[in-house]
Amino acid sequence: MEKTQFSTRKNVLYLLMPFLGSAVLLPLILQTAENQVIYQSLIWGLNMLMVGWVWYDLRARGQSWKDIGLSFKSGTGPGKLILQSLPVLVITVLAFMLGSVLMVTLGVELEQADLSGYDFLKGNPLMLVLVLLAVYVGSSFSEEAIYRAFLINRIEGLTRGGKKGKHLAIWLSAIVFGLIHFAWGPIGIVQTTFMGLSLGYFYMYFGRNLWVVIIPHMLMDTLLMVQVYLQG
């Protein structure tokens, strides 16, 4: 497939389009918040709609998922990917915790993240399995495809590359990633921003290999969901 060069205006439009669409749909989704299952399902569905836009964007440019890191590179099997992902997981968890430390240092009272939206998991093993499958696709994979692969590459493209462009792209994508977790409160926003920074830098460090950040994200989501389940 022949690759297509976009104008700056078209690049900006394609970059903003999924987020503008989400801004329109999100108020409607928030109205279903009283029904936890429906609300979470719609949030995952919204993420997948955004992934659909990422796919459309790639097709319009004559690119494929491979161009943003969703491929198995030669010599990188599942075992090597897992080994690469483990230090990413550890450092990303530490970065998440650093966000808490920073906010407490600034005098913000540390509060436990509001995970009441997953109360339907408590003590329900079947629901835990179903939700984990949904989370892996609608959160772990989709968020990395959107906020790492899509955002970082498109913002970097607007800056014409270079070291400053790469750092700017990683920081802006991490800030957006933090802001979409607004329901977790101020500390949650900072925590997930630091998480996004860690995953963004590792995404670039490993040659834009998306699997190296998807796997740690899946493991973190697994720990979170199992924690809620055990509370039951």
Given a cut of 70, is residue 113 above it in pLDDT? no
Question: Is the CB of residue 219 less than 8 Å from the CB of residue 92?
Answer: no
The answer to whether residue 221 scores a pLDDT higher than 80 is: yes
Beta carbons of 206 and 212 less than 8 angstroms apart: yes
pLDDT higher than 60, residue 1: no
Going from the C-alpha of 192 to that of each of 92, 181, 186, 197, 220, the distances in angstroms are 10, 7, 10, 9, 12
Dist. CA 138–CA 37, nearest whole Å: 14
DSSP per residue, 5-57: PPPHHHHHHHHHHHHHHHHHHHHHHHTTTTSHHHHHHHHHHHHHHHHHHHHHH
Residues 6+ apart with CB under 8 A from 74: none
Sorted by where each begins, the domain ranges of the chain are 8-230
% of the chain exceeding 70 in pLDDT: 94
Task: Give the separation between CA 214 and CA 89, rounded to whole angstroms.
Answer: 10
Rg (CA), the chain: 18
How many percent of the chain have pLDDT more than 90? 69
Residue 78's pLDDT band (boundaries 50, 70, 90)?
A: confident
Cα gap 197→170, rounded to integer Å:
6
Q: What is the tens place of the pLDDT at every residue in 181-202?
A: 988 888 889 999 999 999 999 9
Average pLDDT over residues 82-107: 92
pLDDT over 80 at 114, yes or no: no
Structure tokens at 215: 């796997």
Name the band, by pLDDT with cuts 50, 70 and 90, for residue 41.
Answer: very high
- The dihedrals phi and psi of 71, each to the nearest 5 degrees, come to -155, 160
When pLDDT is cut at 50, 70 and 90, the band that residue 73 belongs to is low
Q: How far, in Å, CA of 22 to CA of 151, rounded?
A: 15
* pLDDT, mean over the chain: 90
Note the pLDDT tens digit of each residue in 118-136. Answer: 788 888 899 999 999 999 9
Residues in the chain: 232
> For residue 219, what are its two tokens?
């493991």
What's this model's pTM, rounded to 2 decimal places? 0.92
66 contacts 59 by C-beta, under 8 angstroms: no
Q: What is residue 107's predicted lDDT score, i.e. its pLDDT?
A: 82
175 pLDDT exceeds 80?
yes
Q: For residue 35, what is the DSSP state?
A: S
Query: What distance in Å separates the CA atoms of residue 98 and residue 14, rounded to the nearest whole number?
Result: 33
Q: Record the tokens describing residue 154, joined without a space.
A: 């498109």
Is the confidence at residue 40, as pLDDT, over 70?
yes
